[in-house]
Structures are given as structure tokens and as C-alpha cells.
Amino acid sequence: MANTSDPGESNPSLQNYAITASAVKLASLGLITCTSLLGNIVLSLLVLKDRTLHKAPYYFLLDLCAADIIRSAVCFPFVMISIDHGSVWSYSILSCKIVAFLAVLFCFHIAFLLFCVSVTRYMAIAHHRFYSKRMTLWTCVAVICMVWTLSVAMAFPPVFDVGTYKFIREEEQCIFEHRYVKANDTLGFMLMLAVIVGTTHVVYIKMLCFVYDHRKMKPAQLVPAISQNWTFHGPGATGQAAANWIAGFGRGPTPPTLVGIRQASHNANRRLLVLDEFKMEKRIGKMYYMITLVFLLLWAPYIVSCYIRVFVKGNAIPQVYLTAAVWLTFAQAGANPIICFIFNKELRMRFRACFPCCLTTQTPMEPYCVI
């Protein structure tokens, strides 16, 4: 006689495994959400509070933090609720489309913004004079608005079923459904994301080549000292022009040896601020490249799984791999503040200055700052 047991009954060991897996997912996603919210909020407050950070690279960083905060506060709780309800979407189809739209929007926003930042980093190194004149607050606002417009343009078509937004049970989130290439047109969206990330790395490689070419040693040339009102400067000078210029007695154009030295202001209560502009721009460029690299590494497994589903008909991606890939994309939201504080000495110094209550000992501030 055939086995007539209820097919809905499941093995107790499988039930225990499912409960354990759900608990691990909830705990890990909760940790990612708290880390993302705490880190990005602290970094945003630091940039807003410290006026020395009110410059182009940190305006872009502030926008990046705002996007991660919204993503962590809006999208992640719905994922946790779906896990708690047994991998089922308990809300309307419209709300699922809204959450999926936001998830795709923030993904493309990060990609577009990192590309624009890479271009500005190259301009800061290769064309610093043009960069310092043109990269004002309103220029940054225009770039950020352009990035959000492009992101909305990429994320909005699936709302009208060009492709589709739906709840993917295997991923336990509302997201873009990646089906076989002949079933819908998701290939264009995936290609656009890959092209943006690839082009961003090409810009950084070009910047690295520029820095390497300008670090080559050149033969020494005998250049006579130049006189401006009997204050000589140049290779054969004694440094008297520099001393006179710093003391406020210099006349005429800035001596070539003092191009990297600027006066902060004519306020008598402030000392001169010595700026090593090249090292500063190089350090900020390194920080943003690490953010770009981590973005690529954390999103690469999920992008690979999307391409497999697009090109391989009837594919069977292991559930463990797909879950790990999705959770890596979630972790990206909390990784940026950690990267910023690790690879940017200026942020660490300003954090000690602005939030001394978070530290046991406070580093005394020097009368001048070498950035």
C-alpha cells in the first residue's frame, strides 16, 4: 500500500534547521542595521558639525551616508519582518514595489555617486587649480541632484512592469526579479551596473598612472635665484623671501616655493594653516577607492548570481550561496563609515576634536595643522 502520510508534514530536524537559520539571519541583519545606522549617523554629524570638513569630498560622503541611513531604516526592517513571518510578504503588492524601488534606487545611487567622485578625485590630482575653483558647494549639489535623477531613471521603469518588482522568496526581500533573458529585459539593468563600476575603476587606474608618471625623478637644473624687492627666492635663494612672505611683508605674486602654503585668513587670532594639498587629495582618493573596491567585492557575488539567472535557463543556484550574496549586499550599508575612519586620518583627528566624550584621553590640538 502506498505511503499516505501528509506531504505538508516536515522532518523535525529540518524545522530546527529552519528556525536556527532564521535566528541567524535576524541576528546578523539586526547587527548590520545597527552598525549602519550608528556609523553613518556619527559620520554625518561629524561632517555637519566640523566646518573644516565643509568641502567637496565630504559633501559627497554626507550624501552617501544619508542614502545608507535611509536604506537601513526603511528596507532592512521589511526583510526582518518577512523572515520572522516565514519568508512571506505580509503587505500589499504596491508596498512591495515601493520597497523594491528603494532598494534598486540606492544600489544605482551608490554606483553613480562613486563614479562621479572618481572623476572629481582625478580632477583634484591632475587639474587641481581648476578643481579648487569649480568644485564649490553648489557644484556638489548639482552633481548630487544629477546622481539622484539618473538613479531614479534606472529604478523607475520596473514599477510599470518593464521587468518586474516582486517578493523573491529565495532572497527574502522585494527586489528586481532576474529571470531568463528571453522572459524579460533585466539584462540592460545589470549591464549598466557593471559598466558603471568598471568605468569607475578605470578612472582610478588613470589617476594612479598620472601620479606614477609625475613621481619620476628628473635631472637637476641650475636655476638662478629671482629677486622681488631684494627678497630672493628660488633654488639659489636663502629662504629670506619665504620668511618675509609668511611674516606678511611679501609683495607681488606668491613665490613659487610657497605655492602650497596659504594663509587661513587675515584674522589676528588665527595662525597659518600649512596645507600639503597633494597628500590630502591622495588620502581622500585612497579612501574613496577603498569604498569603491568594497562595494564591488560585496556586490559581486550577488551580481554573478543575477547574471546566472539571466543567461542560464532553469538554473539552480544553491540557497546558501544566494543567501550569503544577499547578506553581503546588506553589509555594504554599514561598511562605509568603518572604511572612512580607517583610511582617513583627518576624519579620526576631527572625531577626537568634536567628540572628546567618546574617548578616554583627548589629543591636544596644535597651533597649526598639517593635513
Half-sphere exposure of 140 (CA within 13 A, CB side): 19
Looking at residue 167, what is its pLDDT? Answer: 84
Per DSSP, the residues of 27-90 read HHHHHHHHHHHHHHHHHHHHHHH-GGG-SHHHHHHHHHHHHHHHHHHHHHHHHHHHHHTTS---
Looking at residue 214, what is its pLDDT? Answer: 66
The Cα-based distances of 47 to 15, 157, 189 in angstroms read 48, 34, 33
What's the grid cell of residue 200? Answer: 569607475
* Integer Rg of the chain from CA: 27
| Residues 6 or more apart in contact with residue 371 via CB below 8 angstroms | 275, 276, 279, 280, 346
Q: Could you give the residue ranges of the DSSP H alpha helices within the chain? A: 12-49, 56-84, 93-126, 128-134, 137-155, 187-213, 240-247, 277-311, 319-343, 345-354
Q: Which residue has the cell 532592512?
A: 76
- Give the end-to-end CA distance of the chain in Å, rounded to a whole number: 83
Q: How far apart, in whole angstroms, are the C-alpha atoms of residue 163 and residue 157?
A: 8
What's the grid cell of residue 316? Answer: 539552480
The Cα-based distances of 328 to 114, 123, 332 in angstroms read 18, 32, 7
Whether 272 contacts 264, CB under 8 Å: yes
Per DSSP, the residues of 343-365 read H-HHHHHHHHHH-GGGSSSPPPP
Looking at residue 63, what is its pLDDT? Answer: 94
Closest CA to 92 of 165, 16, 186, 30: 165
What's the grid cell of residue 367? Answer: 597651533
pLDDT means per 10 residues in the chain (371 residues)? 45 76 89 93 91 89 94 91 85 87 92 94 84 88 94 80 76 82 68 89 89 61 51 54 58 54 42 54 88 93 86 79 91 92 87 69 45 41
Closest CA to 302 of 320, 331, 336, 329: 329
